[in-house]
Amino acid sequence: MSMHYLTAVVSLILVVAILLIRLASKWGNGRPCKARLLPPGSRGLPLLGETLEFFTAAPTLELLPFLKRRLDRYGPIFVTSLVGEEMIVSLDPAFSARVLQQEERAFQIWYPSSFMRVFGADNIINALGPLHRHIRSLVLRLFGPESLRRALLHDVQSAARDELQSWLHRRQGVEVRAATSRMIFSVTAKKLISHDDAASGGSMWKCFDACTRGLLAFPLCVPGTAFYKCMQGRKNVMRTLKQQLDERRNAAVAIRETVDFFDLVIDEMDRPDSELNENIALDLLFLLLFASHETTSMGLTAILKFLSDNPKALQELTEEHEGYTIPEGSKIMICPSAAHLNTEGTPEPVGGSKDFMAFGGGLRLCVGADFAKLQMATFLHCLVIKYRWEAISGGRMVYYPGLRFPDGFHIRLLVKD
Ligand code: HEM
């Protein structure tokens, strides 16, 4: 199993959820009713629609049973009704790619209102046109290739080394998802808002962890539900961010230096004719703090689980990472066609093909894709060259409807002989 396959499996979980919610479009607007040929499907119960079935946990990593049943019955494009919204669902890669490519032309981004409540109405994921492009370019000043090379690679690598070193002392084992999530969060929280979460007992990470658990849960906001805890998490984080914003803006310009991403956003806001306002800035920081650790840690956990189950893949990965050193200045002739032609057995999916959409596509191509890959690769590098591990317990994966590890995944880390 190649890394591409692993990444694709992990990311599919996200993509499925995202495709579902992206497909509210201008479809058929203005066409006379008679000419409409809507996709087949069912809308379920009044109000509830087919929501309960959608939110049922799935015990395997195959296509969500909710989707599989409809695929068999109606084909890859069908209608349904979820959390009070009628929508068209696409399981057709070519059509899904077209929707992504046609954003702001034939289609316009839309998310369910529960997402907007969690991420805020002024968020980048809801922004359009020049404002959207402006915010993306701002984010890329931190997560783009130049900054990754200049600043983040070093921080990510030392965080991975320190983290793995600390696992060695945990005789009772480590729950990988939470541990990698905290590790990545501590790197990004420092870069984004100069926040040292370990110093405050991990309290901000806990708020985001509640958001992770509640984001794809049934959006019922009453005390005790996962969605309620998620909203409480947002409230606490937003309060801290607002406080920091006020403090920074009130500091005399002469003493305030631009040290982190928050300062950069404030500088941008304070420029004459700036399109950014306080709400946009706060929602952006909230989303980045969330997005920069949540999916990557879930991905890393799934990779470690797959590697635990596939010694051959682990062996290949280790060899790749322990491989030759290429001296600076070497000339390298690359043969990209070998990847396509040299396929023993079944061909594997190749990242970068138009059907590979783990990081979205078109205008919405994940702005943190490079950073996420850097995180995973660096962590795995530090892991496999120096350590081995034993799976202790957990590792069961379910869709709920996003990927979950209900029992966590506990391992014991050992230094290689
Ligand atoms: C394995 C890790 C990751 C996966 C699978 C992933 C996946 C995605 C996908 C599928 C989208 C498109 C959403 C849509 O079409 O509406 C997206 C958007 C986004 N991602 Fe990621 N992501 C990952 C890591 C990250 C990281 C590390 C960051 C931050 C540094 C990040 C920040 C964002 C942002 C800000 C957007 C919105 C972009 C926009 O609206 O223009 N992601 N991500």
CATH of the domain at 47: 1.10.630.10
Asked whether residue 159 is domain-assigned, the answer is yes
Asked whether residue 341 is domain-assigned, the answer is no
Mind listing the pLDDT tens digit for each residue in 134-182? 999 999 999 999 999 998 999 999 999 999 999 998 999 999 999 999 9
Least confident of 95-109, 112-126, 248-262: 248-262
Q: Please name the residue whose Cα sits nearest to atom 18 of ligand 1.
A: 366
> How far apart are the CA of 109 and the centre of ligand 1, in A?
14
- Separation of alpha carbons 381 and 256, rounded Å: 38
Query: What does the block give as tokens for 321?
Result: 């990472």
- Identify the pLDDT of residue 357: 67
Is 70 exceeded by the pLDDT of residue 7?
A: no
Q: Please name the residue whose Cα sits nearest to atom 3 of ligand 1.
A: 295
Asked whether residue 330 is domain-assigned, the answer is no
Average pLDDT over residues 36-58: 89
Asked whether residue 8 is domain-assigned, the answer is yes
- Identify the pLDDT of residue 76: 94
> How far apart are the CA of 93 and the centre of ligand 1, in A?
19
- pLDDT band, very low/low/confident/very high, at 403 (cuts 50, 70, 90): confident
Does the bond joining 406 to the residue before it have cis omega, within 30 degrees of 0? Answer: no
From 132, 366, 371, mutation site for ligand 1 pocket: most ligand atoms within 8 A of C-beta: 366
Average pLDDT over residues 208-228: 93
Locate the ligand 1 atom nearest the alpha carbon of residue 136 and give its number.
41
pTM for the model: 0.80
What is the number of domains present in the chain?
1
Is 70 exceeded by the pLDDT of residue 117?
A: yes
Locate the ligand 1 atom nearest the alpha carbon of residue 135 and give its number.
41
Asked whether residue 411 is domain-assigned, the answer is yes
Average pLDDT over residues 267-274: 91
Locate the ligand 1 atom nearest the alpha carbon of residue 184 and give its number.
27
Least confident of 54-63, 109-118, 240-249: 54-63
Q: Please name the residue whose Cα sits nearest to atom 13 of ligand 1.
A: 360
> How far apart are the CA of 102 and the centre of ligand 1, in A?
18
To the nearest whole number, what is the mean pLDDT of the chain?
A: 84
> How far apart are the CA of 362 and the centre of ligand 1, in A?
12
Mind listing the pLDDT tens digit for each residue in 328-386? 777 765 443 444 445 555 455 455 565 556 777 777 788 999 999 999 999 999 999 99
- Separation of alpha carbons 56 and 262, rounded Å: 39
Is 80 exceeded by the pLDDT of residue 23?
A: no
> How far apart are the CA of 193 and the centre of ligand 1, in A?
19
Q: Please name the residue whose Cα sits nearest to atom 20 of ligand 1.
A: 366
**Three-state secondary structure of the chain:** CCHHHHHHHHHHHHHHHHHHHHCCCCCCCCCCHHHCCCCCECCCECCCECHHHHCCCECCCCCCHHHHHHHHHHCCEEEEEECCEEEEEECCHHHHHHHHHCECCCECCCCCHHHHHHHCCCCHHHCCHHHHHHHHHHHHHHHCHHHHHHHHHHHHHHHHHHHHHHHCCCCCCEEHHHHHHHHHHHHHHHHHHCCCCHHHCCHHHHHHHHHHHHHCCCCCCCCCCHHHHHHHHHHHHHHHHHHHHHHHHHCCCCCCCCCCHHHHHHHHHCCCCCCCCHHHHHHHHHHHHHHHHHHHHHHHHHHHHHHHHCHHHHHHHHHHHCCCCCCCCCCCCCCCHHHHHCCCCCCCCCCCCCCCCCCCCHHHCCCCHHHHHHHHHHHHHHHHHHEEEEEEEECCCEECCCEECCCCEEEEEEECC
Domain that residue 283 falls in: 3-320+346-415
- Identify the pLDDT of residue 9: 33
- Identify the pLDDT of residue 348: 52
Asked whether residue 325 is domain-assigned, the answer is no
Percent of the chain with pLDDT over 90: 61
- Identify the pLDDT of residue 73: 97
Locate the ligand 1 atom nearest the alpha carbon of residue 143 and give its number.
30
Q: Please name the residue whose Cα sits nearest to atom 21 of ligand 1.
A: 366
Is 90 exceeded by the pLDDT of residue 221?
A: yes
- Identify the pLDDT of residue 238: 98
Residues 6+ away with beta carbon under 8 Å from 98: none
Asked whether residue 331 is domain-assigned, the answer is no
From residue 50, give the alpha-carbon distance in Å to each of 83, 142, 176. 8, 41, 34
Is 50 exceeded by the pLDDT of residue 56?
A: yes
> How far apart are the CA of 286 and the centre of ligand 1, in A?
13
> How far apart are the CA of 393 and the centre of ligand 1, in A?
30
- Identify the pLDDT of residue 342: 52
Is 60 exceeded by the pLDDT of residue 215?
A: yes
Greater pLDDT, 370 or 10: 370
Locate the ligand 1 atom nearest the alpha carbon of residue 284 and give its number.
35
- Separation of alpha carbons 268 and 136, rounded Å: 13
- Identify the pLDDT of residue 352: 57
Average pLDDT over residues 40-50: 92
Average pLDDT over residues 109-119: 91
Q: Which residues line ligand 1 (CB under 6 A)?
A: 11, 14-15, 18, 22, 124-125, 136, 139, 143, 287-288, 291-292, 295-296, 299, 358-360, 364, 366-368, 371-372
> How far apart are the CA of 382 and the centre of ligand 1, in A?
24
> How far apart are the CA of 250 and the centre of ligand 1, in A?
32
- pLDDT band, very low/low/confident/very high, at 11 (cuts 50, 70, 90): very low
Asked whether residue 49 is domain-assigned, the answer is yes
Is 50 exceeded by the pLDDT of residue 19?
A: no
Average pLDDT over residues 17-45: 56
Average pLDDT over residues 63-80: 94
Is 50 exceeded by the pLDDT of residue 21?
A: no
